[in-house]
Structure 1
Amino acid sequence: MALLGAIVNGLCIIGGTLIGRFLSRIPDRIKETVMMGIGLSVTILGIQMGLKSEQFLIVIFSLVIGAVIGEWLDIDKALNKVGNWLEEKVGTSEGGGVAKGFVTATLIFVIGAMAIIGALDSGIRGNHSVLYTKSIIDGFTSLILATTLGIGVLFSFIPVVLYEGSIALFATQIEKWIPAQLMDSFILEMTATGGLMIVAIGLNLLGITAIRVANLLPAILVVAILTALLYRFL
């Protein structure tokens, strides 16, 4: 079921928010240790995905070219500007408590490599492990956010499910138009490239790095182009 990962993600956000509403204060030590555990888990998942590549030069070139494109477009900065603008607008509006929680949580849960990579993996391979991992992260994050931003965080599950579900459903149709051999090659290299991005997310969660993962997202498109060229001419 292509939508399973997206649905689980939405349920974890709902569950985390409801639990957070009953907790007035979570000790910082617990927050830190749990987040470290999640960061380690994400890093291992990314390493496992990264090792699946059969043409690692494609992964390298894709990340390099994708990083250049991403930095040139400055996707990370643009997304942060949008988030800050929305938060500023919502925060100044009357009765903006619920709306602020909704907008803030939506931006956190939707913007990121794991949502795209996980949804593609769900649709193409029926593998929901990335979205399951993201669900755990989002569930804990929603719990924390709900203690400060309120019940508005809960409603962020709607755009999250719609966003990830749409990508997953679109991905299920790709195989009808692309040869099986090319699709298999793309899946392997996309998985490996996405895996390295997920490693970056894990390292960021651990506080080891501050990698602008959003600026690496164009690498997924570059993978598709390079694998298609390799299939066509070699």
Structure 2
Amino acid sequence: MVDLWSGLVQAFWLVATLDSELVEIAMRSLRVSLSALGIASIIAMPLAALLAVKRFRWRRFVIAVLNALMGLPPVVVGLVVYVFLSRSGPLGVFGLLFTPTAMVIAQVIIVVPLIASISHQALRDLWEEYHDLLISLNVTQWQKIHTLLWDARRALLTAALAGFGRAIGEVGAIMVVGGNIDHATRVLTTAIALETGKGDFALALALGFVLIALAISVSLTIHWLSRTEREAKW
């Protein structure tokens, strides 16, 4: 019990004094996850809108695949990315393995199906309301997609929040492609796993506190943005 309280006190002290190692790891984790979230959103949200608007032969199959990929094991994604980025792989010439870029790539692959699936559900319902109006206005496919994305932006923020939570909490894939290298690719989740294994519970707890704080901060920010937009409409 004494060791637990001692670890908690040390963890709070590391957070309160903004320990340099703690800040470095947290900022790297935030950069990687936000970069992955931005790229994934650019890919997933227009794809979701296109699936809601356009009818084509393999549409239901594509939607089913996206839903299935939501449960894709992250460590498998890491393994596939590792194979492609390794020296003997097709992209090995770029030397991206064990870099933050490789971690971003892995997180993008993991997050895209999640954001696309959640976004598609919201955009599909909105398309049912807008279908007759937009068809009667004879707008282009891009204008339909743009209208849906804009009017569903609050729901899309929720999808982005889910994607961020999945990205920043990921450990398996980024451990494989990043290597958990100190001062290079070590992020919050991989550092927690490492420090727990070493028995340094104070630093592990401090990293955990920061991870929870980042997740809550992003959630509150998105909630505030959604509330601001709702009040503006009133």
Which has the larger Rg?
Answer: 2
Fold-level match, TM-score > 0.5? no
Greater length-normalized contact order (CA 8 Å, ≥ 6 residues apart) = 1
Q: TM-score under structure 2 normalisation?
A: 0.30
Q: TM-score under structure 1 normalisation?
A: 0.30
